[in-house]
Structure 1
Amino acid sequence: MTRFLLILLVLASIASAISVVYARHRHRVLFDEVTRLERARDELNVEFGRLQLEQATVAEATRIDQVARVRLGMKFPETADVVVIRP
């Protein structure tokens, strides 16, 4: 009976050790994936900020041009209307 109990405890210890090794390996794999995903998220956030700035710049210039043309009746001068003054 004690021999059976000893064998059972040894097998349980081996199974426990294998479980610990597997859990640590899985943890490392998942940690690497999280790190990679966080890096990708940060790169996308930087790109999103650049795109927002670009959109704001384009939208502002377009809006100013639209207001100048519609409300104020402004237009780009023709080549013949441009006068260059030199000192």
Structure 2
Amino acid sequence: MTRFLVIVLLLANVVAAIGVVHARHQHRQLFVELTRLVDERDELNIDFGRLQLEQATWAEANRIDQVARARLGMKFPEAGEIVVVRP
């Protein structure tokens, strides 16, 4: 009977040890994935900041005025060219 109990306890100990090894391996894999995702998030945040800066540059009033004058030939109307339409 004692020999059976020792074998059962030894088997339980081996199963528990294998469970611990598996859990540590899974933890390491998840930690590597977390580190990769954090790095990817940081890169995306940097890209987002760059895009916001680029958008602010393109939407600047002076830039729009320059493009309207240069590419589209637009200009401010003279006083005689302004017509007021009343209902």
Match of 1:73 in 2: 76
**TM-score normalised by structure 2 residue count:** 0.72
Provide the residue aligned with 2:14 in structure 1: 14
State how 1:4-83 maps to structure 2 within 5 Å: 4-60=4-60, 61-62=63-64, 65=65, 73=76
Counterpart of 2:76 in 1: which secondary structure? Answer: coil
Whole-angstrom distance in 1 between the partners of 2:46 and 2:17: 44
**How far, CA to CA, are the matches of 1:18 and 1:48 in structure 2?**
45
> Which residue is equivalent to 2:85?
none
Distance in 1 (CA, whole Å) between partners of 2:50 and 2:5 is 67
Match of 1:82 in 2: none
Distance 2:59 2:7 in 1: 76
Letter in 2 for 1:73: F
Percent identity between the two aligned chains: 65
Cα separation, 2, equivalents of 1:48 and 1:25: 35
AA partner of residue 17 (structure 1): A
Q: Which runs of 5+ in 1 are unaligned?
A: 75-87
Structure-1-length-normalised TM-score: 0.72
| Alpha-carbon distance in 2 for matches of 1:57, 1:5 | 77
Local SS of the residue matching 2:59: helix
Q: How many residues align?
A: 69
Q: CA RMSD in A?
A: 2.0
Cα distance between partner residues in 2 of 1:5 and 1:42:
55
